[in-house]
Amino acid sequence: MTMNHYRIASIPGDGIGKEIMSQGVKVLNLLADVTQSYKIDWKEFPWGSEYYLSKGEMMPADGLKSLEDFDSIFFGAVGWPTVPDHITLWGLRLPICQGFQQYANVRPALLYPGIKSPLAGKKFRDIDFVVVRENTEGEYAGVGGRAQKGTNQEVAMETSVFTRKGVERVIRYAFELAEKRRKKVSNVTKSNAQQYGFVLWDEVFQAVSAEYTQVKTERVLVDAMAARFVLNPESLDVVVASNLHGDILTDLSGAIIGSLGMAPSGNINPERDFPSMFEPVHGSAPDIYGKGIANPIGMFLSGAMMLDFLGESEAGGMIYKAVRETTSHGILTPDVGGKAKTEEVTQSVIDTIKAL
């Protein structure tokens, strides 16, 4: 058997990003030993709010250049109360997603065994869908400005940008994904109120859907979809949405699977022209940082998505299995109703992998 070598950039970032990154690296290294299928050369980048406070920038000007030759990027979270959130986000995560054309932000929502959903009566797999969020343009295109700053006449404009190419490629990704799943795509927009960008989006959706005759489709306005996440998540398979809508809906999908701490994601450049980036959905959680109780499962599952993407699905599968074992045995951090520390959850995942 040949051993694959991967160079992976890790960016722990801020707050609990730092706590869970070390746990994720531990698990991915263990799987390398266990499967003997790959080896990872890690390089850690100390970028984030502390870096900003000492250097005046979230990452060096040539940051993307230093990342571009890696096979993948493993990311914790950024954001800290001492730095404005638009600086942390626009200084690090958004330039990576946009610069590397990671246009499909893939965010699975799966209810694990032993995890109590806030929705009554839901069991393992009752909630099992994926949100594909457009990740390079839309409401987060960064187009706009402020004039007459500080005066009574001040005006701020933030323009959503939808390009036919940008919309089509993410919708196509959603259909390709649905073909491998339960063959349904739900299209989310707000095209009743926003009559340009989202009407283009709907038209492109219609055109692309004609090529995937095996896949069922529906159109749902974003407000109605928010209610559907709560009332009938069983009806969902793949949900495709704009940058802002996908962002908001996936905190909700994180909540219904028990905790944001359970939710993984991949920022995918499907063409593999650039590295893709894998990270939990949640932020840096300053409210629990330093207590050793951050849920590391979103990070582990993001690692599994990364292994799948690299072609190491045997190792990826072992993570999913070890997480299922761990949650079904009730080894849970406080966010999902348990008393375990971060490291105890990691230890359970490690022990399970060793026993597989």
Least distance in angstroms from the C-beta of 42 to ligand NAI:
19
Choose from ligand NAI, Mg ion, none: what does 28 bind? Cβ within 5-8 Å by kind.
Answer: none
Residues 284 and 251: beta-carbon distance below 8 Å: no
CB-wise, 114 or 197, nearer to ligand NAI? 114
Choose from Mg ion, ligand NAI, none: what does 247 bind? Cβ within 5-8 Å by kind.
Answer: Mg ion
Residues 132 and 240: beta-carbon distance below 8 Å: yes
Choose from Mg ion, ligand NAI, none: what does 72 bind? Cβ within 5-8 Å by kind.
Answer: none
**Which range, of 186-194, 277-285, 312-320, 343-351, touches ligand NAI by CB under 6 A?**
277-285
CB-wise, 255 or 319, nearer to Mg ion? 255
Least distance in angstroms from the C-beta of 212 to Mg ion:
28
Q: Binding of ligand NAI at residue 346 (CB under 6 A)? A: no
Least distance in angstroms from the C-beta of 215 to ligand NAI:
30
CB-wise, 124 or 289, nearer to Mg ion? 289
Least distance in angstroms from the C-beta of 53 to ligand NAI:
14
Question: Residues 256-268, buried b or exposed e (16+ Cβ, 10 A)?
Answer: bbbbbbbbbbbbb
Residue with tokens 């859907």: 209
**Which range, of 100-108, 112-120, 253-261, 313-321, touches ligand NAI by CB under 6 A?**
253-261
Q: Binding of ligand NAI at residue 335 (CB under 6 A)? A: yes
Q: Dig out the tokens for 135 from the structure.
A: 């990740």
Contacts with 280 (C-beta within 8 Å, 6 or more apart), sequence order: 20, 76, 77, 260, 261, 263, 264, 265, 298, 299, 301, 302
Q: Which of 78, 174, 177, 345 binds ligand NAI (CB under 6 A)?
A: 78
Contacts with 93 (C-beta within 8 Å, 6 or more apart), sequence order: 75, 78
Q: Which of 31, 94, 285, 323 binds ligand NAI (CB under 6 A)?
A: 285
Which residues lie across from 2 on neighbouring strands?
none
CB-wise, 11 or 167, nearer to ligand NAI? 11
Query: CA dihedral in degrees (262, 268, 272, 274; nearest 10)?
Result: -100
Q: Binding of ligand NAI at residue 348 (CB under 6 A)? A: no
* Nearest Cα to Cα of residue 204 among 192, 189, 224, 184: 189
The DSSP output letter for 3 is P
Least distance in angstroms from the C-beta of 139 to Mg ion:
12
Choose from Mg ion, ligand NAI, none: what does 283 bind? Cβ within 5-8 Å by kind.
Answer: ligand NAI
> Strand, helix or coil at 16?
helix
Residues found near Mg ion in the complex (CB under 5 A)? 247
Q: Which of 298, 303, 316, 338 binds ligand NAI (CB under 6 A)?
A: 298
Choose from Mg ion, ligand NAI, none: what does 273 bind? Cβ within 5-8 Å by kind.
Answer: none
Question: Residues 205-241, buried b or exposed e (16+ Cβ, 10 A)?
Answer: beebbeebeebebeebbbeebbebbeeebeebbbbbb
Binding residue count for ligand NAI, defined by CB under 6 A = 22
Q: Dig out the tokens for 17 from the structure.
A: 């990003």
CB-wise, 167 or 306, nearer to ligand NAI? 306
Q: Binding of ligand NAI at residue 138 (CB under 6 A)? A: no
Q: Binding of ligand NAI at residue 338 (CB under 6 A)? A: no
> Strand, helix or coil at 140?
strand
How many other CB atoms sit within 10 Å of the CB of residue 10?
21
Choose from Mg ion, ligand NAI, none: what does 78 bind? Cβ within 5-8 Å by kind.
Answer: ligand NAI
CA distance 136 to 278: 15
CA distance 182 to 212: 13
Residues that bind ligand NAI (CB under 6 A): 16, 77-79, 85, 93, 259-261, 279, 282-288, 294-295, 298, 333, 335
